[in-house]
Amino acid sequence: MKLTQALKMAAKSISGNKGRSALTMLGVIIGLAAVIILVSYAQGQNKAMEAYYESLGENTITVYASAYRDIGVDIAQELSNYCQQISEYVEGVTPNAQLWNINLSYGVQTLGQDQDYDTRPTFYLGSDQFALCNNYSLMKGRDISYMDIQRLNQVCVLGAAVADTLFGMVDPLDKTVTVNGKPFTVIGVYRPKGNGTTTYNEEGTNWQEVEMSRMDRIVVFPYSLSRILNDNQSSDQYTVKAKDSKSAKLAATYIKTFLQGLIPEDSGWVDVYNEGVYQEEQGEANKLQQYFLGGIAAISLVVGGVGIMNIMLVTVTERTREIGIRKAIGAERRSIITQFLIEAAMICGIGGIIGIIVGYLGTLIVGKLAFDIVLIPGAGITAGAFAISVALGLIFGMYPAAKASRLQPVEALRAD
């Protein structure tokens, strides 16, 4: 039997039982659509995570160093001096101390710790390299300078969301705000990192979006003002910006060794974290999640395959006499198997195409609702999905096809 003739016979059989064929395809459609949507969702989550880490700053090292007894040295200054010595690996370093019990006011607006987590600002003590180390850039004004730190100037730089909340359409530069009742001058505003939204509902918002929005809700002061803002407590957290990922690994090792030599074990503690390691681990975890979600969705494909096998067995029963006639006039087993496999593959292939279309639409909807981005399945997923659908027909159609080919002509001709 020629291939074109087999295809025509398969198409005729499918069109002759439209309702049954449609219901049979439904399992394949649902299964493929689920695979595409879930795998694409995992990829979208991975993109959101990458954007989050990118907003944090690439090649950053987080350093925790503190002495709970006097060791006779300024840790912040010693760390800064050492980072200058290894400048071939390090671009900058800044204290990253978070302040608590701070209230910032301008006019009738007050921002402080009493607000919800998603909307309240975070207050930091930083150096003139705070923006460099934390991947911020200025939208207007200037950044904290070395002289601001040395002269104890009461100045601050606002995140975009804080500036928008306090000042609205008014230019915040050179305006005076009060911080716990003390006057501070706004000298700059950082460019927004988030998507521009300044308020978030608790429902329907993933944590990356909230955290990226919170990055725009910051206020940075010179770290030398710890006396008046932090009860003179020194910073125990620092951020170091390395030149590249290889330099970050080396710098993290050097800095940890240096600080452990600076701070005796019985006088304090040191922890150094290379953020690049966590990004790599997160990437591996996201891949595992893709496989896991794809595996769950694949279960529905197996169910659809069982439906294909069932309907093909019914088809064999209905066409027993036809099979007997074909074998009686000399049809080979191979041609019988080929005929039924082509029919099963065609049913699954048509269902696969519809499933891909449904999967594309579902992915666009999920991308918009979950990540507020246009999420489109990759070409590899699409091609793989179609190949799987055809392979499903061949695999689950093999048993019915083999059963049909083994029918004896005499017994088949006796069938009603």
Q: Which of 234, 256, 276 marks a domain boundary? A: 276
**What confidence tier does 144 reach under pLDDT thresholds 50, 70, 90?**
very high
- Provide the pairing of β-strand 109-112 with 155-158: unpaired
Rounded distance between C-alpha atoms, residue 101 and residue 384, angstroms: 55
Rounded distance between C-alpha atoms, residue 411 and residue 274, angstroms: 75
81 and 192 share one domain: yes
Rounded distance between C-alpha atoms, residue 376 and residue 359, angstroms: 10
**What confidence tier does 281 reach under pLDDT thresholds 50, 70, 90?**
low
Question: How many domains is the chain built from?
Answer: 2
344 and 230 share one domain: no
pLDDT at 196: 43
213 and 246 share one domain: yes
Q: Give Cβ neighbours of residue 49 (< 8 Å, ≥ 6 apart).
A: 208, 282, 286
Rounded distance between C-alpha atoms, residue 263 and residue 66, angstroms: 8
Rounded distance between C-alpha atoms, residue 354 and residue 348, angstroms: 10
207 and 251 share one domain: yes
Average pLDDT rounded to a whole number, residues 259-287: 78
268 and 133 share one domain: yes
83 and 202 share one domain: yes
Instruction: Note the pLDDT tens digit of each residue in 63-82.
Output: 999 888 778 888 888 999 99
Instruction: Note the pLDDT tens digit of each residue in 155-187.
Output: 999 999 999 999 989 999 999 999 999 999 999
Instruction: Note the pLDDT tens digit of each residue in 212-270.
Output: 567 899 999 999 998 889 877 777 899 999 988 788 889 999 999 999 999 988 888 89
197 and 319 share one domain: no
95 and 40 share one domain: no
pLDDT at 175: 95
Q: Give Cβ neighbours of residue 348 (< 8 Å, ≥ 6 apart).
A: 25, 28, 308, 389, 390, 392, 393
pLDDT at 198: 37
- Provide the pairing of β-strand 138-141 with 103-106: unpaired
At residue 344, φ and ψ (nearest 5 deg) are -65, -40
pLDDT at 9: 79
pLDDT top residue among 235 and 147? 147
Task: Please state, for a pLDDT cut of 70, what percent of the chain lies above it.
Answer: 87
pLDDT at 315: 86
Q: Is residue 44 a contact partner of residue 373, using CB atoms and an 8 Å limit?
A: yes
Task: Provide the mean pLDDT of the chain.
Answer: 83
pLDDT at 208: 44
pLDDT at 1: 54
Average pLDDT rounded to a whole number, residues 44-57: 67
- Tell me the residue range of the domain where 140 lies: 58-276
pLDDT at 63: 93
Rounded distance between C-alpha atoms, residue 303 and residue 281, angstroms: 34
388 and 271 share one domain: no
If residue 377 lies in a helix (H) or strand (E), which one and from where to where? Answer: none
HEC assignment per residue over 128-149: CCHHHHCCCCEEEECCCCHHHH
Give the C-alpha distances (Å, rounded to integers) separating 6 from 12, 197, 309, 342. Answer: 10, 59, 19, 7
Q: Which of 276, 294, 321 marks a domain boundary? A: 276
Output the DSSP codes for 246-314. HHHHHHHHHHHHHHHHHS-TTTEEEEEEEHHHHHHHHHHHHHHHHHHHHHHHHHHHHHHHHHHHHHHHH
Rounded distance between C-alpha atoms, residue 321 and residue 134, angstroms: 77
335 and 388 share one domain: yes
361 and 293 share one domain: yes
pLDDT at 205: 43
Q: Please check the confidence at residue 202 and state whether its pLDDT lies above 70.
A: no
Task: Please state, for a pLDDT cut of 90, what percent of the chain lies above it.
Answer: 34
Rounded distance between C-alpha atoms, residue 405 and residue 327, angstroms: 9
**What confidence tier does 414 reach under pLDDT thresholds 50, 70, 90?**
low
Q: Which of 276, 303, 331 marks a domain boundary? A: 276
218 and 146 share one domain: yes
